[in-house]
Every structure is written in structure tokens, then in C-alpha cells.
Amino acid sequence: MAILENIRKRTTVLILIIGLALFAFVISGVFSSNNFAGGKVGSSVAEVNGENIPIDEFRTQVETASRRYGPSVTSTQLVNMVYDQEIRKAILNQQFEDLGIDVESDQIVEFVRTSGYAQIPDFQDENGLFNEQVFKSAIADWKANDPLRYDAWLQDEESIIQAAKERMYFNLVKGGVTATLTEGQLNYDMANNKVDMQYVRIPYTSIPDSTIEVSKSDIQSYIDDHKALFKQDKARDIRFIYFEEKPSAEDENSVKTAITALLDNSVEYSEAKDANDTILGFRNTTDMAAFLDRHSDAKFDTIYKAKKDLPSVVADTLMTMGVGEIYGPYKDGNAYKVSKVMDRKENGTAKASHILITWEGAERANPSVTRTKEEAEAEAKRLLAEAKKEDVLFTTLARENSDGPSAPRGGDLGYFQEGVMADEFNDFCFGNPVGTIGLVETQFGYHVIKVDDKQDVIQVATLSREIEPSEETINTLFTDATKYEMAVMDAEPENFGDIARESSYTVRPVNKIKEMEENLPGLGSQRSIVQWAFNDDTSVGDIKRFNVNNGYAVVQLTKKYKKGLMAPEDASATALPAIRKERKAEQIIAANKGKAMDAIASANNVSLSTASALTLSSPTLPGAGREPFVVGKAFAMEKDQTSDLLEGSTGVYMIKVTNKTEAADVENYSTYAQNLQTSAAARVNGAVYNALKDKAEIEDKRATFY
């Protein structure tokens, strides 16, 4: 059964190997054929404004990125990262070519001088500063004597040239960004002109949504009128049942029973002696290291531990136990454990605070310290006397005077065991009772020390066994997943959920999956499922079982979304509230047209409200939220003027301007214009690239290869 289980676990790998072999056999004729056409078929991973990004170069970039980021980034994340970089590079390079932007060697040197590359030691002179001649000599030396490093530099040089072109391009754009004095004045006025008003608001919530009928054609018309709001990429909806490979209750009990049996002595037959031997258990063994090597998933840890270093589930209990006492079995995470206290050291860990007073030349002293050793000693003695006063807080004294990195924490060094600190420091802390304040000298400086606390440390031996699913559990899981897969395959697609509920399985939906995604909530990284969902041969309603992390997933494709405008049923979540708001506004305006403000308030059971010091830059009404149209209308009105009914963001308004205050004149608006210009320039890089990308015709072919 174990052999069959191993074969079953490796089924996917075997199929993949066989498939690759068949694929290699089939395509071998293609490469030798005259029909290959120079490798153009499927040779690009993307096309940008008619320009191809070759797959071979793309793969090289992915490999380079993989070496740079290591296993912390998944393969799909690497592909997406490199794709974004290459699309950006292609779009901007087209701009560089159109504008004739290029960089010369002196511009490359200047870029290196003003970037992180200037910090490379090989490019610096004896003063630690970037030097152009040293830089050029280093590159020449690499070329002659270190070809691997020179090749790496050539790749860096490509990046430098690209970055230098981008800097030049965006600086050109920023050079055209400006703000006039009139714009500066407008910006000032929008923030400082103020208006007070009285208003009545009839909220849209006063009309129930259920009274507003919206048809599918109404939604379609709204989509057609607001196309920018309803663009969508190609996407998929799936749902799945996850059969997780986890230990059963029987598996847990089995591990608990097995670990309990190891506590006491047992009798085993010795073939060599032809007699029974008594095997000492965990409780009585005289060689704990050997016992745990043989019976435990964790070895004997001889390090003494304070309470904070012990597992939280047993820390309190273990610290109260005597040497030789045993606790357990207990569950800690995904393991059953039994712990035995092997030894105890009273006051084996100390907690202390200190004030470090260092001198020029002391070990690790800050370069800004200029006091002599004698001056440091005198200052330390002064602080010692101060620290011993009853009304002085040691933490405040340390925070204000210590030269050490612990100063912001009031000198607190936390808990530490013997041998961690410098000898003089260590001897003082472990040789004096809690509360003692004294002075010691080390190679780091003079220390005014306060012993804050002491705790015992214990040596603990722990017999541990991981709780893992048994072979029987794994086989049962495989059977259950297969049975469910067969049941839903034989049923109508819509019965997927009903059949799951009959077996008390949980159906988990995942909506709007993009073509190059890989992480699925509840399953983790599952690129194969995403690829299957986007395969042209996979239809809505299709079902497939996948081997996933720690188990199986039976997956059903439930919906496909085409690139373009949303269908009415997909857009309804956004379109319905907007349409209802428009209809409600029409009803409210029709019902209250011609009425005075007081009458509107009375008829709709709402109160008159006031708002003061409103500005165009912050058009927020108390209790109603942002209402830019309503506040803007108030600024366009005269004092004591009353408006018509206005369609706001949260309701229908009628307003009356009660006061208007113009901002004080400023002699020169250049500061405000400069702030606008600086703010706009800071957005250039992102805004310009995004605009170019939106305009570009990009054909994404990643899914063909990954």
C-alpha cells in the first residue's frame, strides 16, 4: 500500500515527464523542418505598438531576476515583474527613439556619480569619494583580468544607460511643467475663500431601493454611456472543494498513545542475549540525548532557558516544576510533547538598565564623542550619585545622558544570561541583588548599572512527535476526493454545490481570477489551476481534480469574462446604485419643485442645517460628507440668494448663502505657484508613463509560455 501511495503521489510528475518526452519527440521535426520560418511563430512574449519582445530575451531576464531574488519570489511573480519592466522599457524606448534621446559616455559617468554605484569601493579614491579615473581604470581592469565581473558590469551598464535615458526624458517633460501666478492665486483662493450657508437635504435613502425598478436594458444603456467605468480584463470564476491532507482524530490519539508509552520502562527481547531487556523510558533514562535521538523528532537542547524562551502553552507550568518532574503529553502546535525539567539555575538570568558614558577612542564609541577618559569617569561618578537619590528616575537619567543605543529605552537591556555581557558588567549584575546601583568600567566605557530583576532558568528535555496523517487517512482522503469528483462529473454542472452539501463539504468560490495570477485563497500557489481555467478547451461547468499542497482540490469553472465592456449582470453592482440615485433624484425634485426651503424640510421630515467656513479645496458638509457640486454652487451664488433643488452626492439639496468671506490679498502668489509646479513635477514620472501605457497597443502573450 505504501508503494502504491508513493506512486499515486508522484502521478503528476510521471505524467509531466511522459508528456515532455512526447512533446520533445513531436517538435523535433518542427525544428528540422523548412516550415519553422526563422522561429517567428510564438517567438514573442508580448507586442507593444507592433514591436515584439522576444521570448528568449525575456527568459534570460527572468533567469537573471531569479538569481537576484532567490526562492523568496515565486516563478510567476518573477515573470510578472520582468514583464512589467520590459513593457515599460519598450514603451519608453519608443519615445527615446522618436525624440532622438541617447546618452554619451560622460553622461553615463555623471549618472554613476549621482547614484548608488558611486558607493562601490572599486570606484572610489583614497578619500572614499567617487573618482572618474578610478572608475574607468576599474572597468578596464575587469575587462582584462576578470571577465565574469566585466560581463556582470555590462549588464549593469545597460541598466545605467536605460536609467540615464529615463532621467533625461522625464527631466525634459518636467521642464515643460509650470504654474502661472494666476494658477497660484486660484489655488490660494480655493483654500482661503470661505462661504457660510443654510441648507436642507433630502437623502436618497429616504426612498427604498425596492421601489426603483431597473431593467437589464437600463443597465446596458448606463454601461454604454459610461464605458470607462465598466472596462474589464479577461477573467475567470471558479469554485472548489478542498480535501486537505491533515491528521484525523485517530491519528492524533495514535501519536499521543505512542508518546505516552515511551514515558515508562519497557521490556524488549534481545536476540543477542536470548533474553528480555528492560529499556529505560523517558522518565528514567540516564542518557537523555541518546533517548531523544532514537525516539523524538527533536533533539536534546542543553541550553538553559528563561520563562520567555519556553513554549507559551507550558512556560508557567514548567517554571514551577522541580528538577526531575515531567509534564505531558501536551499539544504544542502540530506535535504532542512531554517535557522533563533536567536542571535549574536560580537567578540564572538578569535584567538590567545602564547609563553608558564613553570616551574618545573607546571601543564602538560614536565619532562625535570627544571627551577624555578622565572626563568620562568624572561624569559617570556624577550620574552614579544622581541615580542613587530616592526621587530620581533611573530611566529618565539614562534617556537623557547615556551614550549607548539603549538610551531611548531608558537604558533597558532586557534579560540576559551569564557570559553574554562584558566580564565586569556580567559580574556586577549576577553578583549583586535586585535594586543595586553601581559603576563598572569596560572597554566600551563607564557603566552606571541598575539591577532590575532576576529569574531562574531551567534546562528542559522534550520528547516530541509530529502529528501527521496516517497512510489510512491519506488513502481515505484520496478515495473521498475521487468519489466526489466522479459524482459531480456524472451530475449536472449546477449540482456541484448540492452534492458537496450532502457530504458536508465546503464550497469555496474564487472570482475574477486574472490570466497571470497564481495564488488562490485557501489553496496558495496553484498556477496549474489558473492555466486550466483559461485554457480554450475548458468550458463553463467543466470539473477537474488537482493535486495541491497537502491534498486535492476538485475545481469547477463557473464563469468566463471576455476582455472589453462588462455584461449587465456583471456591472449591476456598480450600475444599479448609480441608476437608482438618478431616479430617486428625479422623484425628489419633482415632488418638491416650487416649494420654499422651510416647506421642503417640513414635507420631508428633515431639519434645516447650517455649514460655515466651507472652502472649494475641502467641500465637506457636516453629517453629509463630500459635496463638491453643492459647495461649488454656493460659491457661484450671491449672499442671501437661494438655489434651486440641486442633485448632490448623498441627496437633493436646497441651499441659501448666508455669508461669503474673501481671502486676504497676498502681495505675491509666486510661492503658491511654485508649490503647484513642484507638486505637478513630482507626479510626472508615474503620470507620463501611465498615460503612454494606456495609449499603447499591448498584446500580452505570457499565458502562452507560462
CA angle 103, 108, 109 (to 5 degrees): 145
Angstrom distance (rounded) from CA 199 to CA 147? 77
Q: Beta strands of 95-220 (E only): which ranges? A: 194-203
Helix (H) or strand (E) holding 448: strand 445-466
Residue 15 is predicted with a pLDDT of 35
Q: Which residues contact 281 (CB under 8 A, 6 or more apart)?
A: 262, 263, 264, 265, 266
- Residue 689, phi then psi, degrees to nearest 5: -65, -45
> Which range has the worst mean pLDDT, 41-45, 111-115, 170-174?
41-45
Residue 253 has pLDDT above 70, yes or no: yes
pLDDT digits (tens, 9 = 90+) for 364-380: 888 889 999 999 999 99
Confidence of residue 381 (pLDDT cuts 50, 70, 90): very high
Residue 14 is predicted with a pLDDT of 31
Between these two residues, 195 and 390, which has the higher pLDDT value? 195
In angstroms, how far is CA 224 from the centroid of its own chain?
A: 37
In angstroms, how far is CA 352 from the centroid of its own chain?
A: 37
Residues 267-286: what's their mean pLDDT? 83
Residue 115 is predicted with a pLDDT of 86
Helices 105-113 and 147-175: crossing angle in degrees, nearest 10, is 90
194-232+573-661: which CATH topology? Chitinase A; domain 3 (3.10.50)
Residues 135-152: what's their mean pLDDT? 91
Residue 33 is predicted with a pLDDT of 30
**Alpha helix stretches (DSSP H) within 212-329:** 216-225, 249-261, 288-295, 315-320
Is residue 439 within 8 Å of 380, Cβ to Cβ?
yes
Residues 43-69: what's their mean pLDDT? 91
Residues 654-681: what's their mean pLDDT? 93
Cα–Cα distances in Å, from 14 out to 28, 471, 543, 556, 595?
A: 21, 21, 22, 24, 80
Is residue 199 within 8 Å of 629, Cβ to Cβ?
no
Residue 5 has pLDDT above 80, yes or no: no
As given in the structure block, the three cell numbers for residue 409 are 529605552
Residues 54-59: what's their mean pLDDT? 92
Residue 31 is predicted with a pLDDT of 29
Cα–Cα distances in Å, from 635 out to 227, 609, 616, 643, 649?
A: 32, 18, 8, 11, 17
pLDDT digits (tens, 9 = 90+) for 588-600: 999 999 999 999 9
> Which range has the worst mean pLDDT, 40-44, 106-110, 512-516?
40-44
DSSP 305: B
Residue 441 has pLDDT above 70, yes or no: yes
% of the chain surpassing 70 pLDDT = 94
Confidence of residue 443 (pLDDT cuts 50, 70, 90): very high
Residue 6 is predicted with a pLDDT of 36
- Residue 26, phi then psi, degrees to nearest 5: -70, -45
pLDDT digits (tens, 9 = 90+) for 448-493: 999 999 999 999 999 999 999 999 999 999 999 999 999 999 999 8
Is residue 241 within 8 Å of 598, Cβ to Cβ?
no
Question: Which of 107, 223, 126, 224 minimizes the C-alpha distance to 168?
Answer: 107
Helix (H) or strand (E) holding 62: helix 55-69
* β-pairing verdict for 651-661 and 194-203: antiparallel
Confidence of residue 189 (pLDDT cuts 50, 70, 90): very high
Question: Which of 242, 250, 245, 239 minimizes the C-alpha distance to 505?
Answer: 242
pLDDT digits (tens, 9 = 90+) for 341-366: 999 999 999 999 999 999 999 998 88
pLDDT digits (tens, 9 = 90+) for 296-312: 999 999 999 999 899 99
Residue 104 is predicted with a pLDDT of 85
Angstrom distance (rounded) from CA 86 to CA 60? 12
* β-pairing verdict for 326-332 and 543-548: unpaired
Helix (H) or strand (E) holding 438: strand 437-442
Please tell me the number of Cα atoms within 13 Å of 488 on its side-chain side.
Answer: 30
Residue 12 has pLDDT above 60, yes or no: no
Q: For domain 247-468, which architecture applies?
A: Roll (3.10)
DSSP 362: S
